[in-house]
């Protein structure tokens, strides 16, 4: 008798954090019987340090490019995965889910998609260093320790913020920020999600102290997504910021994701061994 195949999970990072920031999640989900992977964006090197050494390698990529990149990765998996994304990775994950490529989706502080109006002032302030310089559209931008502590990891102590940036911080293409910022003015914008197609369960997670993608933006996405007949849930963590998936409180967020998947029957049958463990 052939053993059932473990459910794949694809983690999608957002701007300014390397895919290695998902490492604790990979270990946790693997221990729960899933088969997780965390591929980088196009142009990302194997480590944050190597990515920082060649910032031009990631320049110019947009939402469509990144979606196509992960779509190709998913096409090589044994079955449709769970897709989990953070920030712009959350936008990409919802796009993949809306394309029918995922069995379930969990997004942490997802960047706004076309149709979300009235962004909070804090979000505009955090994006202004990029959006105020149109020449960055085809270039990359990196957080300084101060901007990272103010806009990204503002809910953790400064020492932890600095360590997160040193360990996982990378330059990222600025183009997705311009695409999302102009989505409602752009016909056929790449920063859009098919929210009407039949889909599996979706969980949106917001941080009450998030300044990069504030709770109000995530709630606006939820109000649109909940019109879909598929299961749609919103979970808010009042004291958490944008770094919630990578900082010292990551386990609470990951546990919430695991619980959501379990409650909705998206998991690995008892006794299943993940594919990567068999190789």
Which DSSP string corresponds to the chain?
-PPPPPPEEEEE--TTB-GGGGHHHHHHHHHTT-EEE----TT--SSHHHHHH-GGGGTT--HHHHHHHHHHHHHTSSSPPEEEEETHHHHHHHHHHHTT--SEEEEESPPP-TT-----HHHHHHHHHHHT-GGGGGSEE---HHHIIIIISTTS-HHHHHHHHHHHB--EESHHHHHHHTGGGSTT-SS----SS----EEEEEETT-SSS-HHHHHHHHHHHTTSSS-EEEEEETT--TTTTTSTTHHHHHHHHHHHHHHTT-SPPTT---HHHH-
For the chain, the domains span 8-265
- Of the chain, the percentage scoring pLDDT greater than 70 comes to 94
- Of the chain, the percentage scoring pLDDT greater than 90 comes to 86
pLDDT at 271: 35
Query: Whole-prediction pTM value?
Result: 0.93
pLDDT at 138: 94
Taking only the tens place, the pLDDT of each residue in 14-32 is: 999 999 999 999 999 999 9
Q: What is the third-level CATH fold of 8-265?
A: Rossmann fold (3.40.50)
pLDDT at 3: 58
């Amino acid at each position: 008798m052939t053993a059932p195949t473990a459910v794949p999970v694809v983690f999608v990072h957002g701007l300014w954090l390397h895919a290695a920031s998902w490492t604790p999640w990979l270990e946790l989900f693997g221990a729960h019987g899933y088969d997780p992977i965390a591929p980088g964006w196009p142009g990302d090197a194997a480590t944050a340090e190597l990515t920082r050494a060649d910032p031009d390698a990631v320049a110019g990529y947009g939402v469509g490019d990144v979606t196509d990149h992960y779509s190709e990765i998913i096409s090589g998996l044994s079955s449709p995965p769970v897709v989990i994304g953070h920030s712009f990775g959350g936008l990409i994950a919802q796009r993949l889910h809306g394309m029918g490529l995922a069995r379930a989706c969990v997004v942490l502080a997802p960047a706004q998609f076309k149709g979300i109006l009235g962004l909070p002032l804090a979000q505009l302030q955090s994006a202004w260093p990029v959006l105020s310089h149109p020449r960055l559209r085809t270039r990359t931008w990196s957080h300084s320790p101060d901007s990272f502590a103010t806009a990204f990891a503002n809910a953790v102590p400064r020492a932890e913020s600095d360590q997160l940036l040193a360990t996982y911080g990378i330059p990222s293409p600025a183009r997705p920020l311009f695409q999302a910022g102009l989505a409602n003015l752009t016909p056929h914008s790449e920063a859009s999600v098919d929210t009407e197609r039949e889909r599996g369960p979706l969980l949106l997670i917001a941080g009450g102290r998030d300044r990069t993608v504030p709770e109000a933006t995530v709630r606006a996405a939820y109000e649109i997504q909940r019109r879909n007949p598929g299961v749609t849930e919103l979970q808010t963590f009042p004291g958490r910021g944008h770094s919630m998936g990578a900082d010292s409180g990551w386990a609470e967020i990951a546990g919430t994701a695991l619980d959501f998947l379990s409650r909705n029957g998206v998991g690995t049958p008892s006794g299943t061994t993940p594919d990567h463990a068999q190789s």
